[in-house]
Homo-oligomer: A and B are copies of this chain.
């Protein structure tokens, strides 16, 4: 399998993980696809306020990195479905643990009380 992006050998595996799934929408995309294959429009609605351009780019990177499979069905009009590869499926425990940790963090810090409309963007 070809890697779509360069992830340094010298970078520690934690940083590799951040690089592969840490992009702003990637974990959310993987999380939605863990429930099953979705068409682009379905995925976009499931993910929320992501632009078409950003979602397309994130999906391409996830595909290049071996996590997402894109399949075109020969129908009229053609149906395009996105699903997780086995490597994408392997992120399930990670997504689950991040969900649990995020819940605990919100509870521990009381962040809910002053929650804004949007999480801080990544740098």
Give A contacts to B, CB under 8 Å: 1-3, 5-20, 22-24, 27-28, 31, 65-66, 87, 90-91, 93-95, 97-106, 108-112, 114-120, 122-123
Contact = CB atoms under 8 A, between A and B. Distances in A.
Q: How many copies does the complex hold?
A: 2
Contacts of A111: 3, 6-7, 16
B12 A118 contact: no
A10 to B, nearest CB: 7
A112 to B, nearest CB: 5
Contacts of A20: 102, 105
B90 A104 contact: yes
Contacts of A7: 105-106, 111, 115-116, 119-120
